[in-house]
A and B are shown apart, each in its own frame.
Chain A
Amino acid sequence: MLHHAAHLLPAQGPIGVFVHHNTLHAFQHLPFEEAVVKASEIFGTEPYMSEAAYRRDLARGRIREEDLDAILASQPDSDILPDGRLTINQLRRVMLSPGLRQLDPRSIEWQLEEGDWKRVFRRDLSEAAKKSLGHDTPAQLWDACFERVLPHRLKTASRIARPRDGILATQGVDLDEVVHPLLIRLCSVFLDQGLAYWPMPEREKGFWGAALTILLQPLTIYPRGLEGLGETLASFTQRRLTSEEAILACMEEFGVAESEWESFVEAQLLALPGWAGMFHRLEAEPGLAPHVHLPYALADFLAVRLVLTLGAVKNVLRSPAAWRTESTNEATERTQRLCETAALFDAAQLSGVDSATLRSLSDEALEKWMSEIRSFDGIERRRTFHLAYERRHERQILIPLAKHLALPAAAPQTSRLAAQVFFCIDEREESIRRHLEEIDPEIDTFGAAGFFGVAVDYTGMDDAHGAPLCPVVVTPQHEVLEKAVGDQEDLHRRRRALRRLWAKFFRNGFISSRTLVRGWISTATLGFFSVFPLALRVLSPLAHARLIAWLNKAFLPEPRTELTFERQDDVGREAAEGLLRGFAVEEKVNCVASVLGPAGLHKGMARIAVVLGHGSTSLNNPHESAHDCGACGGRRGGPNARLFAAMANHPKVREGLVSRGIIIPDDTWFVGGYHDTCNDDIEFFDLDAVPEDHLADLDRVRASLDEARARSAHERARRFEAAKPDIDFQRGLLHVQERAEHLGEPRPEYGHCTNAVCIVGRRETTRGLFFDRRAFLVSYDAGRDPTNENLGRVLGAVIPVCGGINLEYYFSFVDNERYGCGTKLPHNVTGLVGVMNGYQSDLRTGLPWQMVEIHEPVRILFVVETTPERVLASIRANPQLDEFLTNRWIRLATQDPDTGVIHICRDGVFEKLEGDEEPLPVAPSSKAWYGGKIEHLPVARIEQPNAPKLAV
């Protein structure tokens, strides 16, 4: 029962590892449009953007009138007024645009009297409507409407789901304000992962036990509203009830019948969803707790919550069961009638129905008209607007893509590529890939999920524990350690000792400045000197970062390291650990094949291949981990790239790959690297192992990557108002580097913000297209995948990952206060598990406004380069993907690998893309296209004038 009620709670774990997922995961079994409305009723949230926002988009051309027409045309239609004078869709059309004027019921009389409603007709009427209204005056039409409207009584009952609601309605006392401060404090000290100087005593007994112990101390003065809590609590401890028994006992006192248990519990949990969700999450996966492992249990939370509520209720009501009440807000009959009259009045004007016609209508026709007006309410209008909004987006992407496909492909024409560079599919890598190809047209780039098929539990040289570097749905089977190479062992030991010393010093500084005696000594004597680092950090973050980097280099030189990932085939699992040490040859072959197989390297391998994992480092950002690699479970994917390169360089692995049809020439060398998407640094691993005759090749690709990261940084900087629009590439790079180091920067990077598309196909089809960092690019070659096996695997990884990211951004954007966590500025890190607003509030889940502010909330559009039949077969074969598609949580289109024809999936039926109203602009370079602009940019084709004409 508890478990079922808990499925509505947010699934976000401790914030140190942030994994994007569909905010409405609990509703994914429902179609999207149904789910958002149902969720909005349960959570009190917004399902779509506001109507005003869509209207603004309509006004600025982001939605076109033709989109509204197209969406309405796809819905069934019938007559409202006889003889086709008015159909449902015609009515809906005018209700969307220009739309009915909205009146606030509370001041409707005043607005009608003081405004010009009854004096003049609307000024935005069409000519036809004006003509049909003829000689009618506004007053005549109004009177006709008023006569005909029969007040339709609307009762809106507010939901009385828990004692707090009932008592608020009858007594005007908000029990949440009584119970929550204490409950939040208890939760936060219990869940604390090491911030408190004095951890909660006896918390190993669990929340229920520990909370009772702490609350039942002698001489406690309970907060106002909880007087007498002691007796209530004592009655529970005397009976020695477990938390489950306590929940039942409380519900009995509240007079909750068994049939209501679930809804009651659900309402209780949703009153503080963040904290309840954290208990729930940690109970399900205790390993998520970063440092402190306790018996986390949601039942304990609920028991404490109910007992505190019981204590509070007893101070207000004689019998705790007397909280139920009937509460309805009823608009007065006259107000209701005026509102409906106004709606009909506007609708009649827009549809050109005059007073005479109106009077002559049959009751039946009129009632139909009124009910259609009522049923096309705010939510329905927003739904239609949203579909139109997405339709325009779809056409803005697909039409230019089709046009691009019809033009000659821009693939390097060379006997052998200069280099191949593998990136994560992440849409943030789209810009650096494009720039890299612009800089050196003989480089090809590929996109693969950023763990590069290497699911591993990795412990770096500087890490305390191993961490799984793979998608969250995968449990790593292999363990890899980073070790200093033989002669560097001493250096490593020294480094470790110094780091421990530093940690000790830092921690002591942290603590001793805050306590009584040590704080006295340290702040009075040393305090003044902290002004220098403070000033440097605030005034010149980059100078501070350089100083720290220099100090690190001087005192903490990094030893050369290697990864221990070899395993003899015959050595099995170590029973105790449950993890395999490293990888056997066959397993390595699998890893490498999982990336190189779908990528389709039909141009053959270049002499050098670079594999770049990615992550992000930033300050002032409790959500830092949300910017890391999603395919690495919200962590940094450098080690995966390094491992992948090492495996692919292994002669035996190459031998094994031959049987899979993947031939890596002997003279190809793989280099692993790491790309920081925040400061755009690129770091390479194991360079000393590169054979000498490959150094020239390596230098060439490194130089190109170096230039590409600056250009990509420059492109990112265009989005930030703080960067001047006319800076050069290097200044752009400095700008993003400064953001990563700035203590006060709430937007170190925009992360996945603006993600909208995922293209699964060969790079040739998208090469030279400017996607504005909005498209996930997955390399997949249908020509090399006759059995569809690769497609199934690729989609199985990218649809849940990209879909999850996309939907989290969607919901955090459309209702930032409730689905997201609001503005970052008042956020307050608590217990290392999450953030609160101000000094005590619910734990805020979802994304902050600063991360989503420039997002366009559209469901992600997958464009797969294959045939409709094949993609559908792959998706239908996987129930999870099928749910995404059938319930319309994603959008899907295909581009035919041979003809380039695009098909769009509409409820499982593919229809061919028609029309060509969206242009495909051509620009000589990316910079020429985005330079000086800050807004979203349409897809463009980049054709460098001096580049060799490329044709296939």
Chain B
Amino acid sequence: MEFLTFNQLVQLIVATPGAVFIGLSVAWLLGWPGKEKVVARVTAVTYIGLTILVAMLAWKMISSGTHMVTVDLGNWFEIAGYGFPLSLMVDRLSLPMVALTIVLVGLVGSFSIRYLHRDPGYFRFFLLMHLYAFGCLLLFTAGSLDLLIAGWEVVGITSVLLIAFFQYRKAPVDNAIRVFGTYRIADICLLLAVFLAHHWFGSGAWAVLFPGEWPNATHTITGPGMTFMAVLLVFAACGKSSQGPFMGWLPRAMEGPTPSSAIFYGAISVHAGAYLVLRIEPLLQSSPVARYLLMFVGLTTAVLATLIHRTSVDAKTSLAYASMTQLSVIFIEVSLGWTTLAILHTVGHAIVRTAQFLRAPSMLHDYHRMHAAAGGHLGKVGEQYEALVPHRVQLWLYSLGLERGCYDALVDRLLLHPLQRLARQLAVQKNSFTDPTPRQPAGETPSSLKPHA
């Protein structure tokens, strides 16, 4: 198997979905209508090919005992000896994530060929799905923070665009914007971390920051910047994985079509945060503050998310909070340094959730069968922990779960509302400054935007 070297394999794997995305978009821009059959065929061939490639890569790495493959793509730019090196890296952490991405995107793609058949957004969906796969692969194989953030942003923007997939209704667009805003705040942390890495340590490359083979890597980050960096990255990870201060967006992301909910919020996208904390695990080990923060975030989110899950009654929201719960557990595992378990958990959880999301529309059917098989009486559930506390506390806990931990209420009242008020005041100020007759800024959508049958 010498006809493809490690370098070629890794490059091929990452580049293929990107090339498919570019090819399809160019064809579309040139006036091609985006025929369903062609898109389906291209998708199938792409993911069969990718599955073979990733199997070859894995086989090669295992059989040759290679733990890490780095691919140097040269420098993005270079000024006076200081460069932004672009490199890809596949090691024992990224390989499972890459394989997981390819297998699950492939399966969800196959599912979607049928699911979205005849939908006006068919082409758009597959275009975004390929771009998303490219973003994920780039994120997982990035050899540096600089490249990781590129993949990270691609994943983020495709995620938002697919939440707003049904763009002619108001709710999906509102919720997509809210998710977008949440992502932005979390991404600022990541961006800041990239700047600081370059500023303080002269590079964003994993090889420089974390020399050695993961999980036995060390890190070169020292001094007061260390804790700050680690905390920033933990926050960034929380944003992607809907943890701690960013926990509110995940149920809102359920507006998209079922397969995109599966692949983003059951499978890959939400686990990108887990990947990031796993990647910086050596740093966490020497930064107690960041480690405890991670553990604290994980613990609190786990308790709250599982409480909310217990009260959720619709298929998708309940899955969203179930996902969030397990992501918290993964965060806790990482904070304890149980990296192997965390990887196993990530892979297993991603697959289970994908399967469950894809089955969500069949839930009624499944439930009927289960109910009949059980003889009409399903045992009582939900009394294990609740029964331990007095009835009054139970009611309070239930109310907390039903109100989704009052998260939205707090964010709206403490953050969004004051911000909006400030913006409105500034707008009035600006108007009175530039315009002698002050006007109330219009806040209504024109009726022309209303969909018409």
Interface residues of chain A, those whose CB is within 8 Å of chain B, are: 15-16, 46, 50, 106, 172, 182, 185-186, 188-189, 192, 194-202, 213-215, 217-224, 227, 291, 462-465, 496, 499-500, 502-504, 506-507, 510-511, 513-516, 519-520, 522-528, 530-531, 533-535, 538-539, 618-622, 624, 721-722, 742-747, 815-817, 823-832, 836-841, 850, 853
Contacts and interface: CB of A to CB of B under 8 A. Distances in A.
Contact of A513 (B312, B322, B400): B322
Interface stretch (B149-157, B221-229, B376-384): B376-384
Nearest to A515: B306
Contacts of A192: 313
A188 B312 CA distance: 9
Given A825-B116, A838-B171, A500 B373 contact: yes
Given A523-B349, A743-B358, A744-B112, A223 B408 contact: yes
Contacts of B165: 826
Contacts of B359: 743
Contacts of A464: 371-372, 374-377
A828 B448 contact: no
A513 B302 CA distance: 14
A197 B380 CA distance: 9
Contact of B118 (A502, A721, A742, A817): A721
B114 A745 contact: yes
> 6 closest A-B pairs (Cβ-Cβ)?
A527-B348, A464-B376, A224-B412, A503-B374, A830-B314, A514-B322
A514 B325 CA distance: 8
B111 A744 contact: yes
Given A16-B364, A186-B402, A838-B172, A195 B453 contact: no
A207 to B, nearest CB: 14
B349 A524 contact: yes
Contacts of A839: 175, 251-252, 254-255, 314, 316-317, 320
B40 to A, nearest CB: 9
Interface of B: 36, 103, 107, 110-119, 165-166, 169, 171-172, 175, 251-252, 254-259, 302-303, 306, 309-320, 322, 325-326, 329, 341, 344-345, 347-352, 354-356, 358-368, 370-379, 381-382, 386, 391, 394-396, 398-403, 406, 408-410, 412-413, 416-417, 443-444, 448, 451, 453
Contacts of A218: 396
B115 A746 contact: yes
B364 A15 contact: yes
A227 B413 contact: yes
A530 B352 contact: yes
Given A188-B313, A527-B352, A172 B169 contact: no
A172 B252 contact: no
Contacts of B166: 823, 825-826, 837-838
A185 B321 CA distance: 15
A335 to B, nearest CB: 15
A120 B100 CA distance: 64
A829 B360 contact: yes
B381 A197 contact: yes
A496 B107 contact: no
A743 B315 CA distance: 15
A198 B257 CA distance: 27
A743 B326 contact: no
Given A621-B365, A815-B453, A826 B255 contact: yes
Contacts of B381: 197-198, 511
Nearest to A838: B255
A220 B399 contact: yes
A225 B308 CA distance: 22
A202 B315 CA distance: 23
Contact of A826 (B172, B312, B371): B172
A622 B360 CA distance: 10
B346 to A, nearest CB: 9
A516 B114 contact: no
A220 B403 contact: yes
Given A214-B398, A506-B370, A746-B117, 9 more contacts: A195-B313, A197-B381, A223-B409, A522-B352, A534-B358, A721-B117, A744-B259, A832-B367, A838-B255
Contact of B375 (A188, A500, A519, A538): A500
B254 A16 contact: no
A621 B351 contact: no
B257 A826 contact: yes
13 contacts: A224-B412, A502-B373, A515-B322, A516-B325, A523-B345, A621-B365, A746-B115, A825-B119, A826-B172, A837-B169, A838-B172, A839-B251, A839-B320
Which among B107, B320, B443 has the greatest number of chain A C-beta atoms within 10 A?
A: B107
Nearest to A742: B114
Given A217-B395, A721-B118, A823-B119, A499 B373 contact: yes
Contacts of A16: 364, 368
Given A196-B312, A222-B409, A227-B413, A214 B365 contact: no
A291 B165 CA distance: 35
Contact of A465 (B303, B376, B382): B376
Contact of A200 (B251, B325, B398): B398
Contacts of A522: 352
A506 B316 CA distance: 19
A426 B351 CA distance: 42
A851 to B, nearest CB: 12
Contacts of A194: 367, 371, 378
A370 to B, nearest CB: 26
Contacts of B351: 527-528, 530-531, 534
B415 to A, nearest CB: 10
A214 B349 contact: no
B309 A197 contact: yes
Contacts of B118: 721, 850, 853
Contacts of A742: 114
A836 B313 CA distance: 11
B327 to A, nearest CB: 11
A463 B372 contact: yes
A198 B358 contact: no
Given A528-B347, A744-B358, A838-B175, A196 B311 contact: yes
Contact of A829 (B314, B394, B400, B406): B314
A172 B443 contact: yes
B380 to A, nearest CB: 9
Contacts of A223: 403, 408-409, 412
A213 B402 CA distance: 12
Interface centre among A213, A214, A462, A826 (most CB of B within 10 A): A826
Nearest to B257: A825
Contacts of A172: 443-444
B329 A516 contact: yes
Nearest to B405: A221
A462 B370 CA distance: 11
Nearest to B319: A514
A762 B363 CA distance: 43
Contacts of B375: 464, 496, 499-500, 503
A563 B406 CA distance: 55
A534 B325 contact: no
B315 A828 contact: yes
A831 B347 CA distance: 29
Q: Among B251, B320, B355, B372, which residue has the most Cβ atoms of chain A within 10 A?
A: B355
Contact of B329 (A217, A496, A520, A539): A520
B395 A827 contact: no
A538 B376 contact: no
A836 B314 contact: yes
Contact of B107 (A227, A539, A836, A837): A539
